[in-house]
Amino acid sequence: MEARGRVEPGFAPVVEAFTDNFTHHGEVGAAVCVYRHGRPVVDIWGGLADRQQDRPWSEDTATLVFSSTKGITAICANLLAERGLLDLDAPIASYWPEFAAEGKAGVTVRWALSHRAGVPAVDAHLTLEQVLGWDAVVAAIAGQRPEWEPGTAHGYHARTFGWIAGEVVRRITEQTFGGFLANEVVAPLSLDFWVGLPEAEEARVATIYPPVPPADPKVRQAIEAFMGPGTLLGRVLSGPSGLFGYNDMWNRRELHAAEMPSSNGIGTARALARAYAAVIGEVDGVRVLAPATVAAASQVQADGPDRVLGVATRFGTGFALPPMLGAGLSRTAFGHPGAGGSLGFADPDAGVSFGYVMNQMKLGVSGDERTAGLIKALYRCL
């Protein structure tokens, strides 16, 4: 596989790590982009967007980034806070009164953004159409009893994070989350990123390939025990009524068109890197968040054992924090990984932002060897 794109002098190790992912780590199609001090220094892509059709990954190929979407959602929430339209420490119910049901009246926006709201799973029996239609699923979350006392612990809100944050954005702005994102972040930066993909862009989207199951039956059994449908993690990841597993559903048009601010963002590596670059500095004259907002949003809000994932996690106000993003990043880094391997982050100390997207998913809750190699190579160049 030959990488295509643009690379500044001194960043050749990133290209080597990228091609190594195809040779040694089962990559099908992917792209990686790095900005430094507000300008792109690496912007490359390669492989296949669809291997059945032998469709090459091109410069404008976009793909589903799963929970890397959460970082973009966090940017939007913190932008509203910076504008004085959202009080992060106010109860969610002050914007969305129905959310107060079943003991959730005191749950703050910040708790929800740092996975402390206590409602990581949606237990309602909903059809796919209801979930993708928004209103039914947010009503179910509003009426649900917490799994634990809110604010006392944290656990990864894999899907509910986006519906809660998105409904708060909708109540404040009277726009859908995807509309607010498009108007206030995407348009000023000319990003190829959507939550709610227009039909005209569908042909650009790469086909997602689910993780390859482990060959060892004992390993499969261990995974089932860890994240099977009877576990809290299984309930969280599968979504309402077990609708969302790692299956071909993620390649369907109706899922791309819906708005799931936790997990169905579709975009390019360039879009992720450029968005984070504009969070920590100016990009072509545009800066999205002020330095004080960034500093506050990247302060630790939740740290330690995760009630859902069963491992230690660390979150700021909407952003995942090191070591969740990979080894070698500074303490000021923030961003979000996505299921299967995608990643977007900014590291203000290093002056870099990073976006990686791919279509071959891999199992794991604690990093991916593909991003690990890319990050290691990048920091050797700085």
- Expressed in percent and rounded to 5, the helix, strand and coil fractions of the chain are 40, 15, 45
**190 in catalytic set:** no
| DSSP run (H or E) holding 117 | none
Determine phi and psi for 340, rounding to 5 degrees: 90, -20
Paired tokens of 84: 């004085």
Q: What is the DSSP letter of 198?
A: -
CB atoms within 10 A of CB 102: 12
The pair phi, psi for residue 375, each rounded to 5°, is -65, -45
Catalytic residue among 67, 68, 238, 353: 67
Token pair of 57, please? 């990954």
Residue type, 118: G
Q: What DSSP character marks residue 320? A: B
Residue 10 Ramachandran class (φ > 0 left, ψ -120 to 50 alpha, else beta): left
Spell out the SS3 assignment of 120-174.
CCCCCCCCHHHHHCCHHHHHHHHCCCCCCCCCCCCCCCCCHHHHHHHHHHHHHHC
Block residue for tokens 């690990």: 372
What is residue 244's DSSP assignment?
-
Catalytic residues, which ones?
67
